[in-house]
Amino acid sequence: MAKLRLTIACGNYDRTRALMDKTIEPEGIDLNYIPLVAGETFWRMLNNEEFDASEMSLSSYTNLRSQGDNRFIALPVFPSRIFRHSCVYISAGSGINRPADLKGKRLGVADYQMTAAVWVRGFLRHDYGVMPEDLHWVTGAPVHSGVQMPAALKLEQVKGSRHLDEMLEAGEIDALITVAFPRPFLSGSARIKRLFPNYREVETEYYRRTGIFPIMHTFVLKTGLFEASPWVAISLYKAFLQAKELNYRRLYDSNVLAASLPWLLDEIESCRRIFGQDIWSYSVEGSRPTLEALVQYLDEQGLTRRKMAVEELFVPTIQEHFANYLRLTGEVR
């Protein structure tokens, strides 16, 4: 019987590479894996629906579902997770020394609705008492234009070809949330520094206190595909789990280091002492504090039409016991 031909777009990550190079093949599927950078994937899927399934911004996806736009349905697969205290930069001449000093300042962000900014606004509000309304927001063009911004916000869109990192170095904005290193920062500019220079300590304490390991991206199927062939969700989910577990084994190998980091094994062991054995959980329950926080933050920040329930976001066919069953049967080790 011929396999179902599916085209997916997802990043070139260590945890998904076994799918990309066909070391692992989803059952019943002839997979065409297109490795793309996240921003391009999101734009093409949100605006053109070019792929059968793809990586997707978790905030954009949740916003769509809250509006009743059900073109996509997610698997509890999270290709991108990263703490975001490290991505807040400040101008050295801004007078900002601690998070509370951001109040009244000009804060840049490429896209106000992007997931990284949602997480930053969440911890600024809940840990430091800095509300979105306390800031003057300077933004780039959004990836998806269907989000209605709260009326109370002070928003200004960058005109022309100006880059936010250049504006930060010039002191035209006081701070910047960015998922990419500001170019002047990489060049060693003394005019830009991090808000949290000891970000690893801050992020470790944040995780121990909250249980939140921020999710940036999920993985979505076209809803029509899921409804026509619900087995595809399970097949892809199993394959993603297997690729992740294979990567764990590849990284944690004392014979030859899989990455050019001298203490890679110690880093893995250190992370397991904090997160447990499954550092990068692909499950709702294993990510429950993170997912609950995100839907709360999106509601508080006025980016969803209503507060979503976590269970509304993911395919109903993947229950929590399924991943445990795979481990017990040896299909995922």
- State phi, psi for 202 to the nearest 5 degrees: -65, -45
String of b and e for 250-270 (b: at least 16 CB within 10 Å)? Answer: ebeeeeeeeeeeeebeeeeee
Q: For residue range 45-78, list pLDDT tens digits in order.
A: 999 999 999 999 999 999 999 999 999 999 999 9
Mean pLDDT of the 146-155 span: 82
Q: What is the mean pLDDT of residues 191-216?
A: 98
Q: Are 97 and 105 in contact (CB under 8 A)?
A: no
**Taking Cα atoms as reference points, which of 17, 5, 2 lies closest to residue 246?**
17
Q: What is the pTM of this model?
A: 0.94
Average pLDDT, the chain: 94
Work out the average pLDDT over 224-244: 97
- Across the range 240-246, mean pLDDT stands at 97
Contact 85, 213 (CB under 8 A): no
Q: What is the pLDDT of residue 42?
A: 95
154 falls in which pLDDT band (50, 70, 90)?
very high
Ordered structural domains, the chain, with CATH = 4-82+215-247+283-328 (3.40.190.10), 85-210 (3.40.190.10)
* Section 262-271 average pLDDT: 97
Does the pLDDT of residue 145 top 80, yes or no?
no
Model pLDDT, residue 35: 98
pLDDT exceeds cutoff 80 at 322: no
Strand partners of residue 56: 218
In three-state secondary structure terms, 217 is strand
Whether residue 333 has pLDDT greater than 80: no
Res. 1 pLDDT band, cuts 50 70 90: confident
The percent of residues above 70 in pLDDT, for the chain, comes to: 94
